Structure formats: structure tokens, C-alpha cells
Structure 1
Amino acid sequence: MAAEAKYLKVARILQKRIEDGVYKPQTPLPDQKTLAEELHVSRLTVKKALDGLQRKGLVYKESGLGTFVLGPIPIQDKFDSPANVFSGLANLLGSNEVTSDIIEFNVEFPNEDVQHYLKLKSSDPVYNIRRLRRLEGKPLILEHTFMPVNLVPDLNEDILHNSIYNYLHHNLKLKFGVAYRKIKATKADDWDQQYLQAKKDDPILELEQIVLLNNGQPVEYSTSRNRYNERNYVVLETTSF
């Protein structure tokens, strides 16, 4: 697995300081230049780390004034996810705690829906990936993902057992630009009953998304499903966005 990016390491350091009370809520963080010098990284790396913490709802930026600490979101539980993160489950909850069971991994031609979502021709091959994501061994999320083979070459089971997003960002140097996301409630299907240990007609929370690269090319169409009592999504809104 690729080494963790510097900005993720910086984000983890700053997040721990926030959680430990080193940086207290409603107080400004040190400026980017100071943090860059202390942590021996570039200001761009610090900026990317702060952008990630802002998406998580831990800090907010005020134009002309700097970056301020919000602290942990009061209504967010440990397993909940900000609805706007791009980092992937392993980076969000910790790569040592998250494991992946590969249920399906095939290369095939896309159906009409996948062609539409990923802007592909019927002759453009895609990966069809279904994984069960476990947290500390317990089933948490059932993911079904389609990705164009030409944009994500050489995907293999070793990568799928770890983090696809790390492979995209660090190995292939792909950068995300936009994600369209729809969150809805539905009922448990056969897959949910088998892999999420859901009961028939249990409520299921589904996140459907299309992720685009920074050049506008769709790179992922996926659904992520979890039992109603296992995980929620949190939205942060501030006037500084």
C-alpha cells in the first residue's frame, strides 16, 4: 500500500491536537507559515490538511482572519461521516481499524445507467467492485463501485483489500474535483441481509455518488449501504464557504 500523503499526516496531527484540547474551540489556529515551519512541510501541504479538517467540520476559515477551531461536532458519533469528505473510509476511521472483504471484482462492459453516470461508451470496460467494509471486524458498509478501466489501470485485489482512494491519489496522481451525492432511506435487500446482517425490510441508509476528477471526467459511480443504526452522515454549513 502506498505511503500516507503528507497532508493526511499533518491533518491527523492537527486533529489530535484539537481532540486533546491543545487547540481549543473558538480560538484561532497558528497561521499556515508557522505550522509549515513547525511540521517541516510546505504551506500547500498545511492548506490541504486544513481543507480536509474543514470538510470534517473541525475548523472553519474566516477570510482575512485565519482558521478557527470548531472542535468535535456535537451531533456526530464516532462512526458517522461528514457528507462531503473525499478521503475514503480507511483514512476517515483509520486504516488499522478498517478491513475490506472482496465480494465481487470483475471487468465488464457498462450497462446504460453506468454509461450515463460515467460518460462512457458501451464498449468502454469498467471495474465492477463489491466490497464489505468492516470496522474492527464488524460489518459496517456494503459498497458497490464502478470505475473506468482506462482511468484506473492495474487495479488488483491487494489494492481492494486496502484503500482504492490512496491508490488513485498517491499512485495514479489523480485529483478529485466534484462529487454528486444523494442520501436516501431504503429497505434491506438480499445483499444487505447476507453481508450486513440486516433483517428483511430493515431500514438501510444508502449513499449514491458520482465522483469527478478535477478535469471533469467521472472516475467513480458507487453506492454505499449501511444499516439504519450503524452510521449516519453529517452536513456542516458555514457562511465562510
Structure 2
Amino acid sequence: MKKYELVANNIKKQIISKYYAKGHILPDQQTLAHDFNVSKITIKNALDILANEGFVLKTSGFGTVVIGPSTLITDKDAPASNFEGLTTQEGADRVSSRVIKFDLEFPNDKVKKNLNLNGEEPVYHIIRLRLLDKAPFILENTYMPVNLVPGLTQSVLESSIYAFIRDSLHLKFAGIARNIQARQAGSLDISYLNVTEDTPILEVEQIVWLVNGTPIEYSTSRNASNKRAYYLFETN
């Protein structure tokens, strides 16, 4: 876990314990940096996490105000704008992966369009069942350009693809677009998510970009609607 994530978690615990109550203005970034013995940029990144999760409101000229935890958000919900990956969000000790498909393919027109590919550029086609505490959780169907993610292996798929991209390939994610919709359960959902054809399914379709604007992932993730939801927190 990165230093700013540790700081964010510590401040979050202080908010949940009401050490910093709702309406309380947090100490300024310089003071927090001194208290946690970190840089101001680490504090800024930590506060950005807390703002995205609805714990604080950052206002120009007024300070950082505690407004959370939100009564609308449960422990089953995930930030709609987050693209750290499930392993980072839930913890490596809780998340495991079962690889259903791992092939090299020439993409169809839809995948080409979403990954901005020209000609016959091969992609990885990956289907994984993600398990949380050993129980079926999310079914992922992912396409990634082979030239952007060299060296992808079965062992990587069984752990964290995003960690491999960040730590081994030293690539940085910069943006994400998501389309979240309700769907009917399909045959793969029924086979792997322990659902029936009547179970409402939540599908997240997404494209992820690197800092240079190149799309590195086009995927859909599906889960039973009672297992996971997504929230968005915005400020004016």
C-alpha cells in the first residue's frame, strides 16, 4: 500500500471514530504533513482519496471539511471513478482469481474501436472469475493490446493485472470511462456467479487510458446486483 493510501486510511479511521466529527475542518496540509511525517503532496493525494470517497469536502479558501462517512454508501459499494483494481480495493488476502479464458485474438470491430486499434493488432482476451473471501464475486471479460502488456502470464492473471502493469511495466493509468447498466443474467453468469436467470446483474463496461492517451483496456465486469454497487461523489 502506498504512503498516501496509509495516510488516507488513518484519517478515515479518525473520521469514523468521530475524532474528526462531521462539520469539523481538518488541519491544514502543512500541519497534517508534520503530524504524519510525510510530504505535502502525500497529504494532498490522501485528501483526494477521502474526497472521492465522500469523507471530506475540499473547498477553496475555506479548508477541508469533514462530511462523511456518507449514509448512502455501504461497505458493498465501490467508487465509480476508481481504477485501482479489485485486489487493491479489497486486499490481496481477500481476493483471488480463477482464469476461465486466456487467449490471443485478432479483435472484432467493437474491440478495435474501443482500443483505437488499426489493422490486425492482436489482443489478449481474458475471462476471469474474481472471488472475494473465496466466494464468486465478479466475472470479468477483458481485452488488452498485446504490444502494451508484454509478458502477461497465467500467474499474473491469478493475482493482479493492474499491479503487474504498474509495478513491472511501469505504466501509469490516467483516465477511465464507465457505462454501468442493469442486465439479465446470461449463461456465463449462471455458471460462475451462482445466480439464476432471474437474478439482476450489474454490468460495468469500461475503457482505461494511459497517461499518453492510449487505451490499454476494454472490459466488462458483471456481478449480482446485491453483491456490489457503485457510487459517485461530486463537488461543485
- What TM-score do you get using the length of structure 1 for normalisation? 0.90
Q: Does 1:13 pair with 2:10?
A: yes
- 2:149 corresponding residue in structure 1: 152
CA shift for structure 1 position 173: 2.8
CA shift for structure 1 position 210: 0.7
For 2:42 and 2:125, the matched residues in 1 are separated by 33
Query: Contact 1:111–1:122 at 8 Å: present in 2 too?
Result: no
Q: Does 1:92 pair with 2:86?
A: no
Aligned partner of 1:37: which letter?
Answer: H
Change (3 A) 1:238 1:201: same
For 2:163 and 2:12, the matched residues in 1 are separated by 20
Query: Contact 1:109–1:123 at 8 Å: present in 2 too?
Result: yes
For 2:25 and 2:166, the matched residues in 1 are separated by 30
CA shift for structure 1 position 236: 1.4
Query: Contact 1:188–1:202 at 8 Å: present in 2 too?
Result: yes
Which of 160, 177, 186 matches 1:163? 160
For 1:164 and 1:35, the matched residues in 2 are separated by 33
Corresponding residue SS for 2:48: helix
For 1:16 and 1:96, the matched residues in 2 are separated by 20
Change (3 A) 1:220 1:25: same
Which of 187, 194, 197 matches 1:197? 194
Corresponding residue SS for 2:201: strand
What are structure 1's unaligned runs of at least 5 residues? none
CA shift for structure 1 position 170: 3.1
Structure 1 runs (4+) deviating above 6 angstroms are none
Corresponding residue SS for 1:105: strand
- What TM-score do you get using the length of structure 2 for normalisation? 0.92
Q: CA offsets, 1:45-102, max 9 Å, x none?
A: 2222222222222222101222222222212221111211122222222222222221
Query: Contact 1:100–1:134 at 8 Å: present in 2 too?
Result: yes
Moved more, 68-77 or 136-145: 68-77
- 1:106 corresponding residue in structure 2: 103
- 2:20 corresponding residue in structure 1: 23
CA shift for structure 1 position 15: 2.3
- State the identity as a percent: 47
1:36-185 correspondence to structure 2 within 5 Å: 36-185=33-182
Aligned partner of 1:18: which letter?
Answer: I
Alignment length, in residue pairs? 236
CA shift for structure 1 position 118: 0.5
Corresponding residue SS for 2:179: strand
Change (3 A) 1:122 1:13: farther
For 1:86 and 1:43, the matched residues in 2 are separated by 23
